[in-house]
Structure 1
Amino acid sequence: MKITGKELMEIGYAEGKALGVALTLLEKEYAGTQQSEQLTILKDVLANPEAYAGHAKLSALAKELLTPVDDTIALLPEGKPYTTYGAEAIEQGAKDQMNVAVKLPVAVAGALMPDAHQGYGLPIGGVLATRNAVIPYGVGVDIGCRMCLTLYDLPVSMLDENKTALKKMLMNNTMFGTATFKYTKDHEIFARKEFEDIRIVKDLKDRAWKQIGSSGGGNHFVEFGEVNITSAINQFNVNPGRYLALLSHSGSRGLGATIAGHYTRIAMDVCKLPQEAKHLAWLDLDTEAGQEYWLAMNLAGDYASACHHQIHERMAVGLRATPLAMIENHHNFAWKEKDADGNEVIVHRKGATPAGKGVLGIIPGSMATPGFIVMGKGVSTSINSASHGAGRLMSRTKAKQSILQGQVDAMLKDAGVELIGAGLDEAPMAYKNIHEVMKSQEELVEVMGTFMPKIVRMCGDKKFQEAD
């Protein structure tokens, strides 16, 4: 009986040209040799191919083994077509990244939201549907980053009349960046079995415990403001009118960032892509690593929600008021959804939010411009998605270099906004015009109301001072 390719793979040969050359050599040059001796010869060549480079019979195999193997996965010559919303305000770098993403062999469909700008792998504002594959950098580093809005049946006049008390409430009940609460509140999420079953997650449990209820740096915030509901939100029995509200924006803290980095490294190791696409390395959901990441990603998303709920619970106690409604939506996540043909796809929304038919969400502007409470229309060309905000107009570096503090102060004063913290990289003029962004996605969402920030806390150096 002849030696099979399976037997050669058992002694260390990999699928590919070298395996075929070895089988051919056995048939042509070693047909009369015992199988045990054949295997010994091939083991020796595999272990030290340089020694056989000049061998009369085995040089061809040695040469093949010495030739570097290119295991790079080729991109498709033509990418899947996708729709861009507000293309005129989107930088070319983001479009280039989307053009690469839709060439992935696992890509099914894509869309680019009007707040899009360049990121790593998938652009911020990019939506990509894949078949049975999840891309850690298609989800993003701040897994499950979300908006959470609580409406109160309290007079909006409190924003002026009780400004000092509301500012103190923000200072006492929110933490940003590396700061954490002295006394941590427990949460049922810490009983989740993922904290025991997944090694990387288990190692992060103590850190997650310390950070729960806090917010990240950068563009994350907690703010009081005025909501103006223009269309009744029936699922919460909220009628048109003006309401005092609390809005928060933050994600999964160190838990999500570490999960993202860990599984991105695994993906890039097992999924070799061309240089321009390397950050789009994916994990097959049929693999152990893919299943692990999926569980860890969902845990991080739920942890982000738990952080928001604790923030809002602390505020409800301070306000001594029962919330009328809580609306939340998240981005930097992957969902299992159905395409038009009923097939399951993995929808990555990096800096984009779900906008399926009837789905409520919040699309914020900047600290000096309104945000919008919206209801999705379920448009298939956007893969049931909408923007996650106004989107950056300037990089953080450019904003710090070109924006003056006096300009920011004047803009905030004109808008009637009190700011606690935040650097120049979060200045309102560093962001796109939210009204133009909303106009570009009128077909994607219906506006149900607006939120205007009035007292804003972010992560920054500015010290809190009591109002006069």
Structure 2
Amino acid sequence: MKTNVTGANLLAIGYSEGKIVGLALDILKENFAEVDEAELLALFKKLKDYPESFLDDPILAELAKAMIEDALPKTKDTIDLLAQADAKDYNIFGESYIEEGARNQMNIAMKLPITEAGALMPDAHQGYGLPIGGVLATKNAIIPYGVGVDIGCRMALSIFDIPEKHYFGKDDKYKRELIAFTKFGAGREFRGLERADHEVMENEAFNGTPFFKNLHGKAWAQLGTSGGGNHFVEWGIIEFAERDEVLNIDKGRYVALLTHSGSRGLGATIAGHYTKLAKEICKLPKEAANLAYLDLNSAEGQEYWIAMNLAGDYASACHEVIHKRLTKAIGAKVLAKVENHHNFAWKETLNGEEVIVHRKGATPAGKGVMGIIPGSMTAPGFLVRGKGEVSSINSASHGAGRLMSRSKAIQSITKSDMKAILKDHGVTLIGAGLDEAPMAYKDIHQVMAAQTELVDVVAKFEPKMVRMADDGSRED
């Protein structure tokens, strides 16, 4: 088999003519000569739409970085204000699992004059600016790339009054409703009567500036859709080994719905706009340029704070739309619902002082705070309750984290490998490429073992039917 992806193929999936296409073609020629063409185009479409997800990929990182930097303003570096600064100490959880690139990025973040404290979670890996799985507390300043591109990316779990035994044998029904009420991928929208209604679209923040106002129409069209990449909607079985008094749920195994996605085009546009603004205002040295920050006392800082919270509310609304539609479709009653952001910043108190806590790919885990930490499409996820551990800045991991890069996954995992593992675990998959194969992820049990001092496990969720985007852009 010989792959023959051309420049015309790349242009057809949204690449622009110029150096990016040339670099992409060089990478394809040198590394993917024997990979299925459809899988490659799906991967490179994902790369175009979500370049930040490829910054830890040994083959595709150069192209991902070029794409991100091409979209940002070119600024002159200042003198290296951080050269003489010592990095503040920070805690690392699951240290043996974390790559050098993530640590290097965290070391730079800990040198910023605004930094108060930091921590790395056990699923951490290299990102853009702050590493994914990085937690950073700052003094009265917000870092747009410390929050990330997919602002308010979120987990949401609905637990139904349906015992496990009533799920099996009804696969066709659950699959039909899952396909009917979800849309995946960059740019996907609901049209006409399909469109959802939600009070978030009446949020006054949309009228705050012309920039916000121009985002309203696109946001409404995408309300209730999911992204590409590792975003999903899945049916599963959740097991409570004992009664949970807080949720008022008895010991048992119940049907549940779990979703993972963020603020769609709204969040991405906000992130891009304010990152450009931050880099123009806060000209940090080259190695720290992507940690450019905005003072919260400035007009720009206040604008971003409002925009970030709007995107977070919107992300939550998207999940609410999905959950309400699917709950109604299966005729269920919700016993409990739990949700949490994990690309966001919060005003919190640390060591008696107010700080801005950035959790870029990290789950809030304050004392008694509920959260969801997923595994993979065949590995369990966990409903957890935070312990309020100060050394982690009240945080925990946001998932298992990748064991294998996306390029390595499509080079080494076959479709038959993926089908076999899905069959072994009794999981039905709709969509998803080989780059999301279960074996591309770390062992969730090891990750959970590295954070026993951060969270208590309340229940275990086992995926049974998973829907993801095939390529982050379209589905037939």
Task: State the TM-score, normalizing by the size of structure 1.
Answer: 0.82
Alignment CA distance shift 1:354-1:231 (3 Å): farther
Aligned to 2:428: 418
Deviation at 1:392, TM superposition (A): 1.2
Which residue does the alignment assign to 2:441?
Answer: 431
Per the TM alignment, residue 207 of structure 1 is displaced from its structure 2 partner at its CA by 0.3
Instruction: State the partner residue of 1:34.
Output: none
2:152 is matched with which residue?
144
Residue 96 of structure 2: which of 78, 88, 96 is its match?
Answer: 88
Give the counterpart of 1:202 among 209, 213, 224.
213
Q: Report the counterpart of residue 11 of structure 1 in structure 2.
A: none
Letter in 2 for 1:371: G
Q: Give the secondary-structure state (helix, strand or coil) at the position aligned to 1:137.
A: helix
Is structure 2 residue 340 aligned with structure 1 residue 329? yes
- Whole-Å separation in 1 of the counterparts to 2:260 and 2:83: 36
CA displacement at 1:231 relative to structure 2: 4.0
Quick one: distance in 2 between partners of 1:376 and 1:108? 22
1:402 aligned onto 2:412: yes
Distance in 2 between residues matched to 1:89 and 1:134, nearest whole Å: 28
- Contact 2:184/2:475 (CA < 8 Å) preserved in 1? no
Task: Say if 1:312 and 1:74 are closer, same or farther in 2 by CA, change over 3 A.
Answer: same
Report matched runs for 1:271-286 at 5 Å: 271-286=282-297
Describe the superposition over 1:338-364 as per-residue Cα deviations: whole angstroms up to 9, x where unpaired: 011x21000000000100010011000
What's the CA shift for 1:273?
A: 1.1
CA shift for structure 1 position 158: 3.2
Q: Distance in 2 between matches of 1:217 and 1:281?
A: 27
Q: Secondary structure at the match of 1:235?
A: coil
Q: Which residue of 2 aligns with 1:117?
A: 125
The change in CA–CA distance for 1:365 and 1:271 in structure 2 (over 3 A counts) is: same
Instruction: Answer whether contact 1:131 1:345 (CA < 8 A) is retained.
Output: yes
Q: What TM-score, normalized by structure 2, do the two folds share?
A: 0.81
Say which is worse superposed, 191-200 or 357-366, in terms of deviation: 191-200
- The match for 1:108 is 116
Q: Which runs of 5+ in 2 are unaligned?
A: 1-75
Q: Aligned residue for 1:309?
A: 320
Distance (whole Å) between structure 1 residues aligned to residue 106 and residue 412 of structure 2:
28
* Distance in 2 (alpha carbons) for counterparts of 1:253 and 1:464: 17
What is the deviation of 1:71? 5.9
- Structure 1 counterpart SS, 2:419: helix
User: Contact 2:147–2:360 at 8 Å: present in 1 too?
Assistant: yes
Relative to 1, partners in 2 of residues 1:298 and 1:93: Cα closer, same or farther, differing over 3 Å?
same
Q: Which shifted more, 376-385 or 266-275?
A: 266-275
Please tell me the residue identity of whatever aligns with 1:407.
Answer: D
- The residue type paired with residue 197 of structure 1 is G
Distance 1:457 1:213 in 2: 14
Would you say 1:174 and 2:182 are equivalent positions? yes
1:378 paired residue number: 388
In 1: Cα distance, 2:467 partner to 2:127 partner: 26
State the Cα deviation string for residues 447-468 of structure 1 (Å, max 9, x = none). Answer: 0110000011010169999xxx
Which secondary structure does the structure 2 equivalent of 1:446 belong to? strand
Equivalent residue of 1:269, what SS?
helix
2:63 matched residue in structure 1: none
Larger Cα-atom Rg = 1
- Once residues 291 and 153 of structure 1 are traced to their aligned partners in structure 2, the CA distance between those partners, rounded to angstroms, is 43
Shift of the alpha carbon at 1:109? 0.3
Q: Matches of 2:80 and 2:303 in 1, distance apart?
A: 24
1:218 aligned to 221, 225, 229, which one?
A: 229
Name the aligned partner's letter for residue 395 of structure 1. Answer: S
Q: Distance in 2 between matches of 1:329 and 1:259?
A: 20
Aligned positions of 1:176-191 closer than 5 A? 176-177=184-185, 178-182=187-191, 183-191=194-202
Moved more, 205-214 or 70-79: 70-79
Q: Match of 2:277, as an amino acid?
A: I
Matched to 1:180, the amino acid is E
**Code of the aligned partner of 2:380:** P
Amino acid across the alignment from 1:335: W
Counterpart position of 1:161: 169
* Amino-acid identity (%): 59
RMSD value over aligned CA atoms? 1.8
| Structure 1 partner of 2:86 | 78
Distance 2:77 2:396 in 1: 42
Paired position in structure 2 for 1:360? 370
In the alignment, structure 1 residue 442 sits paired with structure 2 residue 442: no
| Residue number in structure 2 paired with 1:346 | 356
Distance in 2, Cα, partners of 1:461 & 1:260: 22
Deviations 1:361-411 (A, max 9, x none): 100000010000100000000000000000112222222222211111111
CA distance change for structure 1 residues 434 and 281 in 2, over 3 Å: closer, same or farther? same
Task: Please state how far the C-alpha of 1:153 moved relative to its aligned partner.
Answer: 1.1
In the alignment of these two chains, the number of paired residues is 397
Note if contact 1:264-1:281 (Cα within 8 Å) is conserved in structure 2: yes
After TM superposition, which residue ranges in structure 1, 4 or more long, deviate above 3 angstroms? 68-76, 461-465
How far apart, CA to CA, are the structure 2 residues paired with 1:233 and 1:256?
35
With over 3 angstroms needed to count, the CA separation of the structure-2 counterparts of 1:75 and 1:451, relative to structure 1, is farther
Task: Provide Cα deviations, 1:117-174, integer angstroms capped at 9, x if missing partner.
Answer: 0010000000000000000000000000010000011121233210010000100010
